[in-house]
């Protein structure tokens, strides 16, 4: 493919990306998950007595549109049916007035019964049902609010959980203690496998196993619930209440994500907060900002919003695509990111009390939980613009604070988690209460790679802390040459993150670890020239690792990795004449050329790409995300580096 065609593709993509910037300077694509967000929104409003006919009809329209031909709902595009999701969607449609004898409802109910019925759903689904008497509280795992009193050095204290789980568990201890039941508007007998025994007991695991131990501990906690010391229980509930209220963000949400927000509202309402209380009012108003209205009148909710993440990635992409760093859009984006710096301490300070703040969060408002990944990428974005910014010293100072904060958040094994330090206990995952998704935050390859890349970019490639990160990455390479992706799908994301970081940190592209990763990517390239990986790689890596329909974002990740490894383009045919270009050291990779051709051939007229597949990860396998900006921002980065050279090759790791 001739260079002019690729340049035209990049130009259209760049112009489209620029056109999506908000007047305030940020970018934000929709963050799509699954219909449990929408079903739980209706259930919350039913519980609080504020559900309206208009909201219900619009939400039901969306939920129906996501139902598959077999009557089920899944958690990602093209994925298998998911029982708990289907139950929650079904209940929401019953709230909307759908007749249980209607074909789409009968098909859903038949699937639910065949998959084990309500009794086989996850704990969180049964908690929602318990709020209306559809499931007994006695048949749910117990999580007493007295957990608030456990010191941080004891196992299973609240700071042993990842921040997202911690924010959810604290309000749920209140709900679990008070066990509210609102009148059910209808019965759900059609969702039980045996209506005569709708709440069957599950057999206990052997007492010598962790599952068996915690199941028996849960029996003790249930007994304690009946005999809880009242003054102690009141004190625990009051401490939980203060903890929740203190962590409400400026926009009214909690942690910028849906689960702690809905449970915090329920918990506070149970503790006496009326709906017109400022805390409750702000919390409910936050959901309006998370609401997406479609052109055909449907309504769905984002589980979270990603403006900081999208803005730093867009800034990096545009500069790497050849947009001048002093372009007004990039200066405006930089100013907005500077305004989002978090200068106060949050929960991370429990483990790092002496560390000064200086990070960025994922969302518009989440000062309690800045994250290491966003901070690393924001620093990389700021440094691309800083020399041309009207106030370069201000930009540099913010970047320096971000670097210092990230260094202070390094775990003892040399790697980095997303939100906390050394959040690696395996015990929280074993609790019967925690049967949905990851509840701890151990270091991961993708986050560690982004930090290493950032440290190399600021000239710290030889710093002992950077070298420890590099050593951890090399030690955690999969046998096949890939890296596991915690926050993106999956091995393509992990490998696409790690290779640029290793090369930036000075690992030569001839290193065996680099060559194994290159071979893995080449072997996983699809026949059409793109790359793709299905979410099922988290459950069945042997079958799905690096396998799936080609997507724009995953093809871009593979290209970014190959380009970092010196795999092309052949500089004789595509000279690196842009800023930061590498010398003529490309290997002229056929895989790279085919990947670029796939991107150009599948581009839509307006400059973006179609990507219904989910390529983002909340909890591996359990909670999948379609970041709507990924399909644009990463191809812009990849095509820019193809045409103008790979920035990391200008720093270190030249082909040898």
- How many angstroms separate the most distant Cα atoms in the chain? 79
Give, for 498, the enclosing helix (H) or strand (E): helix 491-504
Structure tokens at 147: 């957990």
Give, for 292, the enclosing helix (H) or strand (E): strand 291-293
Helices (H), 249-357: 258-270, 278-289, 307-320, 328-339
Cβ-count burial of 291 within 10 angstroms (0-12 exposed, 13-18 middle, 19+ buried)? Answer: middle
Strand, helix or coil for residue 400: helix
| Among the listed residues 373, 370, 350, the one whose alpha carbon sits nearest the alpha carbon of residue 358 | 370
State yes or no: is 373 an active-site residue.
yes
Strand, helix or coil for residue 616: strand
Is residue 294 a contact partner of residue 62, using CB atoms and an 8 Å limit? yes
d(CA 17, CA 491): 27
Q: How many residues does the chain have?
A: 656
| Among the listed residues 301, 220, 250, 416, the one whose alpha carbon sits nearest the alpha carbon of residue 34 | 301
d(CA 157, CA 153): 8
Q: Among all chains, which residue has been given the structure tokens 């644009």? A: 632
Report the helix count and the strand count for the chain, using DSSP H and E: 24, 5
Q: How many CB atoms lie within 10 A of CB 629?
A: 23
Is residue 629 a contact partner of residue 27, using CB atoms and an 8 Å limit? yes
Structure tokens at 507: 């690992």
d(CA 59, CA 53): 10
Torsion of CA 458, 459, 462, 464, to 10 degrees: -40
DSSP letters, 197-254, are SSSPPPPPPPTTSHHHHHHHHHHHHHHHHHH--HHHHHHHHHHHHHHHHHTB-TTS-B
d(CA 295, CA 299): 9
Strand, helix or coil for residue 627: strand
d(CA 340, CA 627): 21
d(CA 439, CA 162): 5
Is residue 62 a contact partner of residue 299, using CB atoms and an 8 Å limit? yes
Catalytic residue among 347, 373, 441, 457: 373
> How many Cα atoms are found within 13 Å in the side-chain-facing hemisphere of 606?
10
d(CA 618, CA 595): 27
Strand, helix or coil for residue 293: strand
d(CA 413, CA 448): 11
d(CA 576, CA 603): 23
Torsion of CA 430, 435, 437, 438, to 10 degrees: -10
Which residues are tagged catalytic? 373
């Amino acid at each position: 493919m001739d260079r002019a065609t690729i340049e035209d593709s990049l130009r259209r993509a760049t112009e489209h990306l620029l056109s999506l910037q908000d007047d305030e300077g940020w970018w934000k694509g929709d963050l799509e998950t699954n219909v449990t967000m929408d079903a739980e929104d209706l259930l919350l409003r039913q519980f609080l007595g504020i559900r309206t006919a208009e909201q219900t009809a619009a939400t039901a329209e969306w939920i129906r549109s996501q139902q598959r031909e077999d009557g089920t709902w899944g958690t990602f595009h093209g994925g298998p049916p998911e029982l708990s999701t289907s139950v929650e969607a079904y209940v929401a449609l019953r709230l909307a007035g759908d007749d249980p004898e209607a074909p789409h409802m009968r098909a859903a109910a038949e699937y639910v019964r065949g998959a084990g019925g309500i009794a086989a759903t996850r704990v969180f689904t049964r908690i929602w049902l318990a709020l209306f008497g559809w499931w007994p509280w006695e048949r749910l795992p117990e999580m007493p609010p007295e957990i608030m009193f456990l010191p941080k050095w004891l196992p299973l204290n609240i700071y042993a959980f990842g921040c997202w789980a911690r924010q959810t568990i604290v309000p749920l201890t209140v709900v679990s203690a008070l066990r509210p039941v609102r009148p059910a508007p209808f019965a759900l007998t059609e969702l039980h496998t045996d209506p005569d025994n709708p709440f069957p007991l599950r057999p206990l695991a052997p007492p010598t196993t962790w599952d068996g131990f915690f199941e028996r501990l849960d029996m003790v906690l249930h007994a304690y619930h009946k005999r809880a010391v009242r003054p102690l229980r009141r004190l625990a509930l009051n401490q939980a209440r203060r903890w929740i209220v203190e962590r409400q963000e400026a926009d009214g949400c909690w942690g910028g994500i849906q689960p702690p927000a809905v449970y915090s509202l329920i918990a506070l309402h149970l503790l006496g907060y009326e709906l017109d209380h400022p805390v409750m009012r702000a919390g409910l108003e936050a959901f309006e900002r998370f609401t997406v209205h479609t052109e055909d009148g449907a309504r769905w909710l984002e589980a979270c919003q990603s403006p900081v993440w999208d803005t730093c990635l867009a800034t990096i992409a545009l500069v790497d695509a050849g947009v001048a760093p002093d372009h007004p859009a990039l200066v405006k984006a930089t100013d907005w990111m500077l305004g989002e710096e978090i200068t106060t301490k949050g929960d991370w300070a429990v483990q790092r009390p002496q560390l000064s703040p200086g990070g960025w969060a994922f969302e518009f408002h989440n000062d309690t939980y800045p994250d290491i990944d966003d901070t690393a990428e924001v620093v990389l974005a700021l440094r691309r613009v800083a020399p041309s910014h009207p106030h370069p010293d201000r930009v540099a100072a913010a970047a320096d604070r971000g670097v210092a904060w990230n260094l202070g958040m390094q775990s003892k094994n040399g790697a980095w988690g997303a939100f906390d330090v050394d959040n690696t206990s395996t015990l929280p995952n074993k609790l019967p209460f925690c049967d949905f998704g990851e509840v701890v935050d151990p270091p991961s390859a993708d986050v560690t790679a982004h930090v290493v890349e950032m440290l190399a970019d600021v000239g710290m490639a030889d710093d002992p802390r950077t070298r420890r990160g590099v050593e951890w990455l090399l030690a955690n390479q999969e046998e096949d040459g890939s890296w596991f992706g915690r926050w993106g799908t999956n091995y393509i994301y992990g490998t696409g993150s790690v290779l640029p970081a290793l090369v930036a940190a000075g690992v030569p592209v001839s290193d065996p670890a680099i060559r194994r990763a290159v071979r893995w990517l080449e072997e996983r390239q699809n026949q059409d020239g793109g790359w793709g990986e299905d979410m099922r790689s988290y459950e069945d890596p042997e079958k799905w690792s690096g396998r799936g329909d080609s997507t724009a974002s995953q093809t871009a990740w593979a290209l970014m990795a190959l380009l970092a490894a010196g795999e092309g383009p052949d500089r004789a045919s595509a000279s690196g004449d842009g800023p930061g270009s590498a010398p003529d050291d490309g290997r002229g990779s056929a895989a790279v050329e085919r990947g670029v051709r796939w991107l150009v051939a599948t581009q839509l007229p307006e400059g973006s790409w179609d990507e219904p597949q989910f390529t983002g990860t909340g909890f591996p396998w359990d909670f999948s995300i379609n970041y709507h900006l990924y399909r644009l921002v990463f191809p812009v980065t990849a095509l820019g580096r193809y045409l103008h050279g790979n920035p990391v090759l200008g720093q270190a790791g030249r082909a040898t």
